[in-house]
Amino acid sequence: MKVIATYNIKGGVGKTATAVNIACLAASEGYRVLLWDLDPQAAATFLFRVRPKVKGGGKALIAGKRPVDDAIKATDFDNLDLLPADFTYRHLDLHLDSERKSGTRLRNLITPLRRQYDLIVLDCPPSISLLSENVLQAADLLLVPLIPTTLSVRTLDQLTGFIAGFDGRRPQILAFFSMLDRRKRLHTETVEQLPAERKDLAAAWIPALSVIERMSVQRAPVTATAPRSQAARHYRELWAETRKRANLPPPAAVG
Ligand SMILES: Nc1ncnc2c1ncn2[C@@H]1O[C@H](COP(=O)(O)OP(=O)(O)OP(=O)(O)O)[C@@H](O)[C@H]1O
Ligand SMILES: [Mg+2]
């Protein structure tokens, strides 16, 4: 079982769009997938048409008063379950902080799920906090969307530096360009200036496309509603690269 988190300190860069599409693609290939929406905005929960309600709230879940299993919901897609977020998740940091092993709490909560799932995707809120530390400890791979500007590359360098100094388990990083708009000079310049051999940068990238933006109207991942679209093709390429980087064996071989 592997844990992949879509993560960036910055907001609105495509974390949720990526998490839902990757989870959906993996499930369609036969992996047993759980998407854990960790963001109180509950955008991933909304996209899968699940009610943003966690009985007892984030507090009971983190404290272990309610088994994580109980909070899991099925989605409209085979092999794909969702652990929804609700607004109580805005206090997750506080609840984590009151635990004894506060930095590895998320990892410990995930442990019993290892038998049930081949892949857990964590959709993270935009922040750097105790929750982020928990995500770093729990994830095998961080998938980091970058909008191609100089500042976004700086964000990646900061994140890499932060993880290098991180005392604990260190996840791999796979960054990729998100919402790339070839009509924008800054975007093309940034892409061209970055050394192609950089190992933490994926060859796959996601273009800025209105069909991706419209997922919130359709309330379903674009890879499911328009599998032949350009958007779906790019997400498939990103998923293939992610799967390889995370060393996730083919669906028949896992379990
Ligand atoms: N490749 C894309 N092309 C066009 N629009 C996109 C693309 N990716 C995401 N969007 C849109 O941009 C907005 C932000 O995307 P998304 O919610 O995935 O980002 P996020 O990083 O999860 O944001 P937050 O930090 O708020 O959680 C959404 O309205 C989404 O539909
Ligand atoms: Mg999001």
Beta carbons of 48 and 76 less than 8 angstroms apart: yes
**How much distance in Å is there from the Cα of 48 to the middle of ligand 2?**
13
Give the tens place of pLDDT for each residue, 84-114.
Answer: 999 999 999 999 999 999 999 999 999 999 9
Rounded to whole angstroms, the Cα distance separating 210 from 236 reads: 18
Residue 51's nearest CA partner among 219, 218, 211 is: 219
**Which residue CA neighbors atom 8 of ligand 1 most closely?**
14
Taking the whole predicted model, whether its pTM rises above 0.85 is answered as yes
- Binding pocket residue ranges, ligand 1, CB within 6 Å: 11-17, 39, 41, 43, 125-126, 178-179, 206, 208-209, 212-213, 215-216
Q: With 90 as the cut, is the pLDDT of residue 153 above it?
A: no
Whose alpha carbon is nearest atom 16 of ligand 1? 14
Q: For the chain, what percent of residues have pLDDT higher than 70? A: 99
Q: Above 90 in pLDDT, residue 33? A: yes
pLDDT for 127 equals 87
Residue 255, pLDDT score: 52
pLDDT of residue 167: 79
pLDDT > 90: what percent of the chain?
83
Q: What average pLDDT does range 9-21 have in this prediction?
A: 96
Per-residue model confidence (pLDDT) at position 149: 87
**Average pLDDT, rounded, for the chain:** 94
Confidence band, pLDDT 50/70/90 cuts, at residue 151: confident
Residues 6+ apart with CB under 8 A from 93: 129, 130, 131
Report the nearest atom of ligand 1 relative to the CA of 8. 21
What would the pLDDT profile of 203-215 be if each residue is shown by its tens digit?
Answer: 999 999 999 999 9
Q: Look at residue 218 and tell me whether its pLDDT is greater than 60.
A: yes
At the topology level, CATH places domain 2-253 in Rossmann fold (3.40.50)
Quick: pLDDT tens for 34-55.
999 999 999 999 999 999 999 9
User: Is residue 245 scored above 60 in pLDDT?
Assistant: yes
Between the CA of 11 and the centroid of ligand 1 the distance, in Å, is 8
- For residue 178, give the nearest of 149, 155, 147, 151 by alpha carbon: 147
Residue 254, pLDDT score: 64
Distance 245 CA to ligand 2 centre (A): 23
- The ligand placed nearest to the CA atom of residue 44 is 2
Q: How confident is the model at residue 198 (pLDDT cuts 50, 70, 90)?
A: confident
